[in-house]
A and B are shown apart, each in its own frame.
Chain A
């Protein structure tokens, strides 16, 4: 039984918790609120009361379960090995079954399901976004702030929607002269609609390494925003759609440059589709050949070091929770950065600490999200780095908003963009010599 189907599925997980409170030491929400309900132990207790029937699922209960960035720091710090990520997913799914989905989320996830309509909306949005968003002058990024408050404040800095989506900029298959393999690229929404520069860097680096890239047109949202909020039905529909599209195109491997997307392909699709034999098999098959881009470049290719030109940047690296703890990838991005001539890697105090973005969490709890982000920004400031690298577009948005609002001159980008920059510099150097 999957965590998405029934609260009973986490009974044993709940019994593992011995209420020691060790989760308090690492929980970003608890650090801000200092309320027991903010931390895993508190929400585990609530889930226990629910299971024992002592209390019913209430709106208030659903609210409390929304207090988690799913950063999984508690999982790592738990002496008893409690998988709190499973507990929170089960509790949220239960909340949706009993209380329905928050209306804003309902609209958002429905839109994500209707790909073509969504595409159109985004395209129209890119033309009209000036109505709602005020463009901010910035050297390297197209960023903006909300002109009016729609409930999330006007402080957050957003990327502007790209004029053209990433997927419309490329043919479905990007060929190279003598391909050593064929790799499917799952772009994810943020890279497709906002951070197309990240997507382009992925394509650039892959083709530079003689890899044929397939970007299936019919791919859609990874479904993580829906699944972490308990909208299991939408998440399942999205999982099936993506599996179908990628299966149609076929590839030796699948790469993702977004930590949620990576988690979806590696773990979530199979869990969602546990009771669907046909798609479960498909999900398992693709899970076996899904890689985060950094992981793929380091272990599967491995990426070529000759041709790397000088990039003079002082870089600090932020570990996205779903890449670091979710997929166990933290050394690979650093390895890439260290291999680039001219890049100086300066570690911040707690690179693995959640930035507070957590997708829709930042929309539902904007103040908390900003408080968590402020600590991250302070850590970044301390490094004196000029660039912040990360492996997740959502983290990039949050980090960018943080440094921008703190008045820090730092460029926030995906690790892969710096690698692409290095290959470009290498070519220039070659021309000159």
Chain B
């Protein structure tokens, strides 16, 4: 429980209407979108409306050494916003303005509580886009997205969030406010703290303003669906497309389990016997798109696709994408608990990774459907299970361990777009080694010596 004095001080800064203390409210901040995670109720939830208020709150937290958990929409998938040690949940949702769209410099300045789609809508008015495109674009916030460094369907060509963050305003654990980066394309002054705070999952500072890079919206796009009767061939086709110097915006894969489930739910006309389908979209200038789509079609056929369909119009294109977008929902309806991972490997290793996942599923007698952003090596092996089945959950955890082991052994990484949070802390050694984890800890302790900011995530206190 929080000291009365602390509550009084918080109310003084924020006003009582922005300080939630009743358990009926607190209980709804005990979780995020991560499956099978232990819930933890915070002691108080507050909603600041300015950087100044955040500073005051951080000072109070520092003074009493109370944990403080920044939170956006809570759509993250690694337990990153669960207040594992109680304390203060800092909901950023009322800091939600677009401060500026700068057409001359192709930047936008926004507050962290802004929903990503709102930025897309505004940028669209100027013929611009904000390329990071997470599946939760209509719900997730900019601050959360920067903090988790989220990715999305367009990662192959456009990268992830960190490639679009040019500047940040951050409140540090001692209450200092710093600005780093800015609107200049070239900016190499000092350590790159913008990069450091992007993907720091709120453990190093609290972001209160974000400058992002916008790019011109592509003039045209074309979608292509290729059907394979052999998973290996599909994997090789991915590498072949890129070897031929075509970088599609999106190159997605669905395995047979996923295809069957999706088809069962949406009847989009997917071939249920296929071992895999690839869904590819090229975008850019009209002429380029025309040339690249023909090239991609040819490569897919050469690599052994049994069928290749190019969407003739928007309607056909939408149907293809409906199938892909339905993958997770369809899988989620099959069993109550959906453990979705984002192990990522160099794209040339996709066939190996797919094979390994199938082996793991068999070994542990689990249903694992795999789909994902194959072009950038980011797979989503999705384990369909039921949290209530204790015995099966044991096998799920073993399978997850092995999936990450394989990913690392193939030269991959623990997370392509979901972050580390609580869920993957224990694997960090696997990727970074003792020395690497120690380096992370020294950074954490330099900036937040008392572990006040989002404690229990990424870096364990020794």
Contacts and interface: CB of A to CB of B under 8 A. Distances in A.
Contact of A42 (B28, B91, B388): B28
Contact of A35 (B20, B34, B329, B338): B20
Contacts of B332: 18, 20, 79-80
A180 interface: no
Task: Among A35, A36, A45, A64, find the residue whose CB has the most chain B CB atoms closer than 10 A.
Answer: A36
B272 interface: no
A389 B226 CA distance: 47
A25 interface: yes
Nearest to B334: A80
Contacts of B333: 16, 79-81
B136 A37 contact: no
A18 B93 contact: no
B123 to A, nearest CB: 18
Given A21-B75, A34-B47, A58 B24 contact: yes
Q: Is the interface of B mostly helix, strand, loop or mixed?
A: loop
Q: How large is the interface on B (under 10, 10 to 19, 20 to 34, 35 or more residues)?
A: 35 or more
A49 B139 contact: no
B136 A45 contact: no
Given A25-B139, A46-B24, A60-B24, A18 B337 contact: yes
Nearest to B37: A19
Interface string A215-236: 0000000000000000000000
Interface string B316-339: 000000000000110011001110
A387 interface: no
Interface in B76-135: 91, 93-94, 96, 113, 115, 117
B31 interface: yes
Contact of B27 (A16, A18, A46, A63): A46
A16 B136 contact: no
A19 B24 CA distance: 17
A79 B74 CA distance: 17
A79 B31 contact: no
Interface string B33-65: 111000000000001000000000000000000
Interface string A322-363: 000000000000000000000000000000000000000000
A2 B389 CA distance: 26
Given A21-B136, A34-B93, A45 B24 contact: no
B160 to A, nearest CB: 20
Interface in A1-40: 15-16, 18-22, 24-25, 34-37
B252 interface: no
A136 interface: no
Contacts of A60: 22-24
Contacts of A49: 27
A61 B117 CA distance: 32
A49 B386 CA distance: 18
B329 A79 contact: yes
A34 B31 CA distance: 16
Interface in B426-453: none
B307 interface: no
A22 B25 CA distance: 19
A79 B325 CA distance: 10
A55 interface: yes
Interface string B1-36: 000000000000000000010111101111111110
A385 B36 CA distance: 50
Contact of B74 (A16, A21, A25, A64): A21
B73 interface: yes
Contacts of B96: 34
A45 B329 contact: no
A79 B330 CA distance: 7
B138 interface: yes
Contact of A37 (B25, B113, B338, B388): B25
A21 B338 contact: no
Interface string A76-90: 000111000000000
Contact of B328 (A24, A37, A79): A79
A21 B139 CA distance: 7
A77 B54 CA distance: 33
Interface in A49-95: 49, 55, 58, 60-61, 63-64, 79-81
A24 B73 contact: yes
Interface string A256-271: 0000000000000000
A42 B30 CA distance: 10
Contacts of B35: 18-19
Contacts of A35: 20, 25, 28, 47, 91
Nearest to A64: B24
Contacts of A20: 33, 75, 136, 332
Given A34-B91, A34-B93, A79-B329, A19 B32 contact: yes
B183 to A, nearest CB: 29
A65 to B, nearest CB: 9
Interface in B328-352: 328-329, 332-333, 336-338
Contacts of A63: 24
A34 B27 CA distance: 15
A14 to B, nearest CB: 9
A45 B28 contact: yes
A15 B332 CA distance: 11
A55 B22 CA distance: 13
Given A18-B338, A61-B24, A45 B73 contact: no
A195 B31 CA distance: 46
A46 B29 CA distance: 11
Nearest to A19: B33
A12 to B, nearest CB: 8
B336 A45 contact: no
Interface string B176-202: 000000000000000000000000000
Contacts of A36: 25, 28-29, 74
A37 B75 contact: no
A235 to B, nearest CB: 26
Contact of A25 (B20, B28, B138): B138
A105 to B, nearest CB: 20
Given A21-B33, A37-B28, A55 B336 contact: no
Nearest to B47: A34
Given A21-B75, A45-B30, A80-B329, A37 B24 contact: yes
A18 B33 CA distance: 7
B24 A21 contact: no
A92 to B, nearest CB: 15
A144 B113 CA distance: 40
Contacts of B138: 22, 25
Interface in B113-167: 113, 115, 117, 136, 138-139
Contacts of B329: 79-81
A127 B248 CA distance: 72
Interface centre among B24, B29, B386, B388 (most CB of A within 10 A): B24
In order of increasing CB-CB distance, the 3 nearest A-B pairs are A79-B329, A42-B28, A36-B28
Given A21-B33, A35-B20, A35-B28, 9 more contacts: A15-B386, A16-B333, A22-B139, A34-B93, A45-B28, A55-B23, A60-B22, A60-B24, A63-B24
10 contacts: A15-B386, A19-B34, A22-B136, A24-B73, A25-B139, A34-B96, A49-B27, A55-B24, A63-B24, A81-B329
Interface of A: 15-16, 18-22, 24-25, 34-37, 41-43, 45-46, 49, 55, 58, 60-61, 63-64, 79-81
